Structure 1
Amino acid sequence: MKQNYIFSLICLLFFINTMRAQQQNAWKNELYGFVRADAFYDSRKSAEAVDGLFLLYPLNENPDENGKDLNAVSQITMTSISSRLGMKMGGKKIFNETATLAARLEADFTARSNSNSLRLRHAYISLSWPGHKLLMGRTWHPMFTPQAFPFTLSINVGTPFNPFNRSPQIRYTLKPTKRWSMLLAMLYQNDYSNLGPDGNSGVEKRIDLMRHSMIPNLHWQTQFNFRKQTFGLMADYKQIQPETKTTGTNGTYKTTTQIASYAVGAFTKTSINKFSAKAKVILGQNLSDHIMAGGYGVKSFNTKTGHETYTPSNHIFSWINLEYGTKFTAGLLVGYSKNLGFNDDIEPNRPIYARGSNIAYLYRISPYIKWRNQRLEIWAETEVTTAAYGNIQYAENGRVNNTSEISNVRLQFSCVYYNLIKNERKHYI
């Protein structure tokens, strides 16, 4: 029922603003979105989300009593829940006509597994002046870099090699020239959050870890834009607090222990006629909130008080995406990530608050084709993802050795009908 109310509210807001726009031409209200149908085959079970639309990496072997792998199970899925609806609003100048006011509201139908319920994607307000811009609300984390991300068929758009995160934020962008801009942002976590203790010696996503730390996620980014090329650099800092209390053999105690983590990266995009090339590389710690491998482990543990200290993981993430064509397009994504271990040795008898902590490296090769005719697009894609599972060396900074590779092959076919804005095809990221 709640999702139906949200959907009705979106429609009501659109029609009210449309009627007002007819009377006040300065305000613009544009409804956009798409209807999408997906069908895909997987050769084995994998770590995934959103009813399998979001595939990360194949699961490790899990032998039964006869030695047969319980995860070697092929699957076929069909769904339309990635369909999307959004509205762009605003366009009028305020503050003595010095700033342009705009807003965006967008949702899709992937809120919960196996149900057609709305999920909020974007909800922000922006004020734009000549040379700078202020944004407040929920949208892409700057590490996603909407200017350079993979145009794959899969809605994971390169994850877990590319960050995937939408967060509430306050963002300031300085753009004194067409060729150079700088971005500063403060963000807090919502549904894209870090892993933490579940209270039963397990691991789960926790929305309160950054709230406890009282320090927002801080991000800096700069971009250089030329006629056919974009190049950018970024740096990211966050601090979380996994626990507010600990319990040991002597009782329960208050704790304020936190863990800090850093990430730096570079990205580029080049477009020449029908050809485009994009690439990104990130060296990062504790990026489980971006649906990537890694997290943090326990560096020390006091059995009497239950007090823990933590150490972050270190990973290199990289990808390159090549495309050629217009009406008919062929593309290729190649992604690679490497587990560099933790900053310190980790306790062998404590949980590791990380994703893929026993994976030494991941790689993906994903060729695809798409055909476009006005508002219709038809896609086909093959996605081969390989994970190298091994043994965690707790006394060697948690590095992984003695690895063996496990692969999943995904074959996907999709059909999309776009509702266009100003007759321009958007990728609606």
Structure 2
Amino acid sequence: MRRIFFLLASILFLLPVTAQKKNFNYKFYGFVRGDLFYNTRANMAPVDGNFYLYPLDKSPDAQGKDLNATPNGSFYTFTTRLGLDVQGPNIGKARTSAKVETDFGGFSSSTTMLRIRQAYVALDWEKNNLLIGHTWHPLFGSVFPDMLNLSTGAPFQPFNRSPQIRYQYSTSKIKLTASALWQLQYLSSGPKGMSEDYIKNSCIPELYAGADYTSNNGWLVGAGIHLISLKPRTVSEWKNPSDPSSEIQKYKVNERMTTFSYEAHVKYTGRNYTFAAKSLMASCLDHTALIGGYGISSINKETGEQEYTAFRHSTSWINFTYGNKWKPGIFIGYTKNLGTSKELISAEPVYGMGLNIDQLLSVNINLSYNLPHWQIGLEYSPATAWYGTNNLITGKVEDTHSITNHRILGLVMYYF
């Protein structure tokens, strides 16, 4: 950790010297953030509990007691952030810029680590913008909830930053976006867990195309379409079931799972309030912190090569905030499992997150006190998940029971 701070201090010391070049400027920004939280039970909550998603199902012990029905809570400051914006010099008529942003939310087995949040360069003409690097996934978009929780509306709002090449065309009211994306920190699930190999071996990046319209009276509306094409495996280890005496053999296979997702969003900004909403028909977006994934629809009996079918989820949220200094807000998110387009050969294995959840409903009520450079807030969030078993024919979840968690969050932030 001392080496990290020494490196940052060295950068801060050296940059003023190099920043005297003509048509070149930079600006540091960031915040110190502390999160104090309490949950009534165990949850799906990466980043050591800070990135809260949904309550976990019952896990009975030998006496039938629920192992997950245990309260938990902690206090962390590792989401403290430091960023650097750089501008210039121009290349022809293009304005150039770059961003480097980091926090301490990258985890090893024992401690927090410095990680890249964003790192990109951009070329900006009058109506055209080209970005190359690591930044927000376009499904996160220009409309997202205003709330205190670090998850920013996930698992109802996509949350992901990825390496990408993004082109945008903008007029005074219209913005068109096209992106090709790869994976780094937010990974798809598959036969060997979460890995970037599925998109790497695919040789087809994620693709997104979308459009936004901004009116003169505070409205923003838009929609987009997303494609993901994964190669879950390139090699199978298979024993022919029709020949009990045969041994397990390796076979080269050509497997692919390709699916589309669709989203629409709206936001209205009034004098001292905002209303926002987003709805998705989501498929295999578990790498964006949404519930989703895929299962196996067929197996070649000679080589073990598999075909796959994606789970479809309807996911929507609405968000309302009011005020500036004292700022109350409410967020409501809902997800429904719509099943698969093909029959599953088995309920296990399936690859993804929350695939045995039929419905998920979450409410978030928050109040923050805002001053220049300061934010202090309190948030209460009850969430209920309906767990059950997957119907192999439809992929839908049946015979459900509900699990509820109550989460309380206290937040202090100092911006600079």
If the length of structure 1 is used for normalisation, what is the TM-score? 0.92
When residues 122 and 6 of structure 1 are mapped into structure 2, their CA distance, relative to the original with a 3 A threshold, is farther
The answer to whether structure 1 residue 108 and structure 2 residue 103 are counterparts is: yes
Residue 362 (structure 1) aligns with: 360
Instruction: Give the secondary-structure state (helix, strand or coil) at the position aligned to 1:336.
Output: strand
Residue 205 (structure 2) aligns with: 216
> Which aligned runs of 4 or more in structure 1 are off by greater than 4 angstroms?
4-11
Residue 244 (structure 2) aligns with: none
Residue 206 (structure 1) aligns with: 195
Q: For 2:18 and 2:122, locate their aligned partners in 1 and report how far apart those are by CA, in whole Å.
A: 20
Question: Aligned residues, how many?
Answer: 406
Consecutive unaligned residues in structure 2, runs of 5 or more: 241-248
8 Å CA contact 1:14, 1:87 repeated in 2 = no
Residue 422 (structure 1) aligns with: none
Q: For 1:8 and 1:105, locate their aligned partners in 2 and report how far apart those are by CA, in whole Å.
A: 18
- In structure 2, give the amino acid aligned to 1:295: G
When residues 237 and 7 of structure 1 are mapped into structure 2, their CA distance, relative to the original with a 3 A threshold, is farther
Q: For 2:166 and 2:382, locate their aligned partners in 1 and report how far apart those are by CA, in whole Å.
A: 36
Identify the match of residue 406 of structure 1 among 398, 403, 406: 403
8 Å CA contact 1:311, 1:343 repeated in 2 = yes
When residues 5 and 102 of structure 1 are mapped into structure 2, their CA distance, relative to the original with a 3 A threshold, is farther
- In structure 2, give the amino acid aligned to 1:172: Y
For residues 13-412 of structure 1, the aligned pairs below 5 Å read 13-21=11-19, 23-24=20-21, 26-95=23-92, 98-112=93-107, 115-145=111-141, 147-175=142-170, 177-198=171-192, 204-227=193-216, 228-250=218-240, 251-348=249-346, 350-394=348-392, 396-412=393-409
- In structure 2, give the amino acid aligned to 1:63: P
Instruction: Give the secondary-structure state (helix, strand or coil) at the position aligned to 2:317.
Output: strand
8 Å CA contact 2:347, 2:390 repeated in 1 = no
% identical aligned pairs: 35
Q: For 1:167 and 1:319, locate their aligned partners in 2 and report how far apart those are by CA, in whole Å.
A: 23
* 1:349 Cα offset (Å): 6.2
* 1:24 Cα offset (Å): 3.1
Q: For 1:151 and 1:11, locate their aligned partners in 2 and report how far apart those are by CA, in whole Å.
A: 33
Listed one character per residue, the Cα deviations across residues 295-340 of structure 1 (whole Å, up to 9, x for unaligned) are 0100012354221110111001110110000011000010001100
Q: For 2:326 and 2:22, locate their aligned partners in 1 and report how far apart those are by CA, in whole Å.
A: 38
Q: For 1:49 and 1:357, locate their aligned partners in 2 and report how far apart those are by CA, in whole Å.
A: 17
8 Å CA contact 1:32, 1:85 repeated in 2 = yes
Let me know the Cα RMSD of the aligned residues: 1.5
Q: For 1:10 and 1:59, locate their aligned partners in 2 and report how far apart those are by CA, in whole Å.
A: 39
Q: For 2:229 and 2:9, locate their aligned partners in 1 and report how far apart those are by CA, in whole Å.
A: 39
- In structure 1, give the amino acid aligned to 2:279: V
Listed one character per residue, the Cα deviations across residues 97-135 of structure 1 (whole Å, up to 9, x for unaligned) are x11110000111111065231111000000100011000
- In structure 2, give the amino acid aligned to 1:300: S
Instruction: Give the secondary-structure state (helix, strand or coil) at the position aligned to 1:144.
Output: coil
Instruction: Give the secondary-structure state (helix, strand or coil) at the position aligned to 2:158.
Output: coil
* 1:376 Cα offset (Å): 1.3
